[in-house]
Structure 1
């Protein structure tokens, strides 16, 4: 006969088997998504609970932990004990790297309630610092990522190793925070409360601390200096936009890119590999002969026609070398809008011979024509490198006005490219092939405005009511009811 429902223990136990009362436990109401789906008890360890750690699953929480909550994780790993860490202890990079969760997890009825922000503030930092660092590891880092290549995969380096170096080297932390503040304002996200004046303060502090670190030249800081030299190239692009914009800022910007090479020359490579920063050094090899054949004939003729009495004649070998590096972009473009093409575009300025940079600074026409054609390549919209936005549209007309009608024929393609609205139109101009189309077997899906990261960022903008954004919010806005 079945036992009475109100009984606390069975009347008898099966013969030969001792009775063990069921261990009482409190029902988990704020457990992770995976444990709820599996109907197992979640220990609610943050950022990764113990069951998900054991199974190697991605751990995603639907709601933020209660303010006074202390993790009950049965392990003592850094991932499961971050909530109990003293505020004065520097946080590990993983605490700011939501690698195992969606870009944004939104809870409640408003899109500005964000649960993926850091839950503590390390000593010496403000709440604004932590919001910026969170946004960097979620979105800003991607503007320096050129995708997955067999020789180079830097996403983890940018999100983890670089952040670890930043906590040990304040000048790098300042650069990350300044760059991210600029990114947030570039996107127009008011919810994160980063004003333009605060952006300027971060940027000023970043540039000043970087200058002092370069002057000190402490070998222990070389990995951080290398990472900083890359990011400062993005941070400094404010000189192309707004009130800070001034013609030919591009020439000063090139000098910053060449500074990366100067730091590489004094770098201790074993130290770079130990810190994980070495992946940032990768540049794709250039086939100089094949690149020369990929160049437009009119650019080659521009150099070949230099006479012996021309002031540019001593620079002819350097001009040819610069053109061959430019030709590697044309050669790669024939294969479509690949990750490797965009890596070549970003690293092009680091290849330029110093005499060509000096010639451009002296406003020599041929050097400026070469740079105008390079600027066309950074107009491609197949990757979200937001800090390059607007540079070509600002500087190509400046070059055309300076050189005047005598050089208008050699600037026809750069000026025409500014009127194109899509990648294919720009590529057809560069390749001088009206029928060119991207090879289907080499196609790489560009980052679209409707991509997951872009939707997550747009979901933070209260005034963005586009259907795809509302659909994204509907998926992410979840309220814990049981």
Structure 2
């Protein structure tokens, strides 16, 4: 057996090291880098010296990872003690955000903050319908779609920057809102050149956001600029209607974003029978597609078919409609075919308000109103035809009754002034009475609130009582249930009972 000398020490495996003391480097052995003396030098009672950069390390720290952990913990505790996280002015460090890649490339920290602001706050200004499906679309589906489609991503960033600038005014946010708005329109135009099943939903959603991306004039501008803004909104709505029409008859309700463009949430009871000549007039074919200017008929059940051609409008609008249908003398109204359908578009909105008051169904009908307007009517608005402007005035009054989060609410006061100015320039007689009726409701909303304003619509409406609407709707719905139960009984051989279920 070989004898070992007293100075011989068996080599034990060492972890790989790029550092090490000077002695180990000179001996070409592995150094365990222990301090103040490594294991090799301590066993041999040798002087253990490290290079200068190694000496700068803390002798109380056993490894580099421990040092880093303690330093990060110290920074985190200090930051927690010094930062008020509810302070909107606090700037989150860039390194805290993970890299996020989208169709436009890697998002910056500022972009991520804007997306977060959209998901936590901005989306609520659009989800005014009040049903859960809309909440999910705006808060979850839309942000997901935007990651892979640049036009929608730019739209969200622009809207978020605009909304955040209202809360926390900043020149940077203002410039970002404008920049992303420009990018939205340019990328959207490119998407329209190649509509496919992959980008169709994104194009529809972006189209709805374009309405909010059309900036209103400043409150101190001329009245005609607000009229031009209204016309711009109507043209954008027309474009959206055309896009929706591409898929409307081929199962558009299967789309995940369909709730954004659906036109009603429920069928409505027939209007109360009120004696008025105009109520016996039909507006032409009613349809559910954008090919027809009128809303879908909600009076399509067998026992209410006789009421399908009736309209339900406040007295000032009824009088205006009567003047169009029955002009004085033998003079024909050349714009009658263009104006009359719009009265029928307004009718279900008033009917929903009467039976179900300010409800999600009412909100939907107001928000899709512009999608029913045909190019001929838009031409009358552009030409400032008084009766067309009166109808638009009533629309904005109805829009003022929507939840205050809607983006256009802040502009309604200026819009009302502009429309009133234009109507009074050329209108007379029934036209002036009609616009004064709309202005009275708007003033009531400003002074006493939306609920009082909604009720005031029916003040001078003979045979119609605000408080009776929900009760009559409940009776009508109960009648439908009874009819269905009789059908079920008859299908099983039971005899039915002839019940009068009319309201």
TM-score range, shorter chain: 0.5 to 0.7
In the alignment, what sits opposite 1:338?
A: 359
Matches within 5 A, 1:27-426: 109-112=84-87, 119-123=97-101, 124=105, 125-147=107-129, 149=131, 153-186=133-166, 188-190=167-169, 195-239=173-217, 246-248=225-227, 249-267=229-247, 276-284=256-264, 285-287=296-298, 289=307, 292-306=310-324, 307=327, 313-334=333-354, 335-380=356-401, 382-385=403-406, 387-404=407-424, 406=428, 407-420=431-444, 421=446, 422-426=449-453
Q: Deviations over 1:233-282 (max 9, x none)?
A: 12214347577992211111111112111111224988977762233232
SS at match of 1:234: coil
Q: Distance in 1 between matches of 2:71 and 2:218?
A: 44
Does residue 452 of structure 2 align to residue 428 of structure 1? Answer: no
Q: Distance in 2 between matches of 1:250 and 1:344?
A: 19
* Equivalent pair of 1:222/1:267 in contact (CA under 8 Å): no
SS at match of 1:418: helix
Q: Distance in 1 between matches of 2:357 and 2:71?
A: 51
Distance 1:310 1:209, change over 3 A: farther
* Equivalent pair of 2:252/2:258 in contact (CA under 8 Å): yes
Quote how far apart the aligned CAs of 1:310 are.
9.1
* Equivalent pair of 2:400/2:409 in contact (CA under 8 Å): yes
Where structure 1 has 5 or more consecutive residues not aligned to the other structure, the ranges are 1-65, 70-106, 443-482
Q: Distance in 1 between matches of 2:249 and 2:145?
A: 16
Distance 1:432 1:193, change over 3 A: same
How many pairs align?
335
* Equivalent pair of 1:233/1:253 in contact (CA under 8 Å): yes
* Equivalent pair of 1:372/1:399 in contact (CA under 8 Å): yes
Q: Distance in 2 between matches of 1:200 and 1:305?
A: 46
Q: Which has the higher contact order (CA 8 A, sep 6+)?
A: 1
Q: Deviations over 1:42-77 (max 9, x none)?
A: xxxxxxxxxxxxxxxxxxxxxxxx9989xxxxxxxx
Q: Distance in 2 between matches of 1:273 and 1:346?
A: 18
| TM-score, L = length of structure 1 | 0.60
RMSD: 3.8
Where structure 2 has 5 or more consecutive residues not aligned to the other structure, the ranges are 1-69, 74-81, 265-295, 300-306, 472-503
